[in-house]
Amino acid sequence: MHAKLAEVVVGYSTEVKPGNVVRIEAYDGVAAPVMREVYAAALRAGGHPTANLVLEEADETLYKEGSDVQLEWISPDQRWNVEHGDVWVVFDAPTNTKRLSNVDPERIARRLKARRPLQSLYLERSARGEFRWLICGFPCEASAQDAGMSLRQFEQVLYRAAFLDEDDPVAAWKRFGDRLEEIGSLLETKRELRIVGEDTDLTLGVEGRSWIRAKGLRNFPDGEVFTGPVETSVEGTIRFSFPAMMRGRQAHDVRLRFEGGEVVEATARRGEGFLREMIGMDDGARRVGEFAFGLNDAISEYTGNLLLDEKIGGTVHLALGRSVPGTGGQNQSGLHWDIVCDLRDGGEVYADGELAYRNGAFLNGASGS
């Protein structure tokens, strides 16, 4: 399966071309077997791959013992990659997802903020088609444990979500891409969306904004359409079904109230202090940078792994903070924090006042995979 995943990553998601500089990264060595396959596939495609394991313990030491200057420092490797690299593949397979749970949130916010220019640059280069980055799932014990299952079970969930159980996964992703195209085109005719669900009634303006069809090129697995809503347009309340997670920390049962596009009230049953620290990071962190529909019906259950959860068919998510270039979103922030809301049980979405989506599916027949 590693070789099959690598072929999709190199041949479809990042389309490595001769002469491309390809950086392959992961936390520690859990993903080493697939990193080797991607390294080989990138060489066969004519690229110049390098691999790097980010050390979890070193990372932890930096957060806990580094001075502010050290925490804000960016290594020459990272800088060059973002400024000049062609392809960046990051495997999401840590050895312990909660390793930073006891780090002072102020430290996390400080580092995120310092990396803001670099983040903006890579998203801009990405939007211009100069830089193809990919966050790729990989089965590991830590993620399986978060999902409350065995590694073998998590492998099945992940590979199914990635269509790797199909004979020709690339063909399946292209077919799925056509469906995302249909939904994206529909949404681009709309000016305003209203999301209604349990403790949720939220209105967002999306007029003139582009909907990106996320079909496995920047996230893998994938399956969503997303945009950057009009910055001042968000009004109302939303309650998130799934915990909000960032660097291993969580806020449970998050509720947000918006006025004029800004969060004016934020509560959580657990982790409220952390929630406030993140939202208080900078001005843009209080605004919505992304709104999205999760459309991958091959993912049905919550696993605590954001890469999968935000794609669950029948969910929507919004991100506080930085918007994604290419959507038309203008919001700037060191934060980009996706939080997921499940609409499969009674949720509704109205587009320009008309019911367009109910119980997790679009009514025009355009649904997920």
Partner 1 sequence: MRDPRLEKLAELIAGYSLDLREGQVYRIDGEEVSTPLAVALYAAALRRGAHPYTRIVPAGLDEIELEAASDEQLTYIPEVERIATEELDAWTSLWGTVNTRALTRADTERRRLQLSTHYRMVNRRWERISAGELAWCGTLYPSQAHAQDAEMSLAEFEDFVHGACHTREGDDPIAHWQSMSQTLTARARELEGVRELRIVGPDTDLRVVVEGRRWLPSDGKDNMPDGEVFTSPVETGTNGEIYFAFPSVFQGQEVENVRLRFEDGRVVHAEASSGEEYLRSLLDTDQGASVLGEVAFGLNYEIDRFTRDILFDEKIGGTMHVALGGGFDEAGTENKSDLHWDLICDLREEGEVYADGQLVWKTGSFLAEPAVERV
Nearer to partner 1, 51 or 149 (CB): 51
59 vs 81, 250, 283, 341, CA distance in Å?
A: 19, 19, 27, 31
208 vs 17, 211, 259, CA distance in Å?
A: 34, 10, 21
Q: How far is the CB of 308 from partner 1 (least distance, A)?
A: 24
151 vs 344: CA distance, rounded Å: 27
312 vs 150, 183, 343, CA distance in Å?
A: 20, 16, 10
226 vs 291: CA distance, rounded Å: 6
| Secondary structure (DSSP) of 291-303 | EEEE-BTT--S--
Q: Cβ contacts of residue 99 below 8 Å, gap of 6+?
A: 56, 59, 60, 248
Nearer to partner 1, 42 or 172 (CB): 42
Q: How far is the CB of 199 from partner 1 (least distance, A)?
A: 44
For position 57 contacting partner 1 by CB under 8 A, the verdict is yes
Site for partner 1 in 69-88 (CB under 8 A): 70, 73, 75-78, 80-81, 84
- Asked if 227 contacts 212 with a C-beta cutoff of 8 angstroms, the reply is yes
For position 10 contacting partner 1 by CB under 8 A, the verdict is no
Site for partner 1 in 77-136 (CB under 8 A): 77-78, 80-81, 84
For position 264 contacting partner 1 by CB under 8 A, the verdict is no
Nearer to partner 1, 52 or 367 (CB): 52
Q: How far is the CB of 214 from partner 1 (least distance, A)?
A: 28
Farthest CA pair distance, the chain: 55
- Region of 64-72, 171-179, 195-203, 321-329 interacting with partner 1 (CB under 8 A): 64-72
For position 40 contacting partner 1 by CB under 8 A, the verdict is yes
For position 53 contacting partner 1 by CB under 8 A, the verdict is yes
Q: How far is the CB of 8 from partner 1 (least distance, A)?
A: 18
Select from 112, 126, 356, 96 the least CA-distant residue to 219: 126
- Region of 62-70, 249-257, 269-277, 278-286 interacting with partner 1 (CB under 8 A): 62-70
For position 189 contacting partner 1 by CB under 8 A, the verdict is no
Positions that interact with partner 1 (CB under 8 A): 21, 28-29, 32, 35-36, 39-40, 43-44, 46, 48, 50-55, 57-58, 61-62, 65-67, 70, 73, 75-78, 80-81, 84
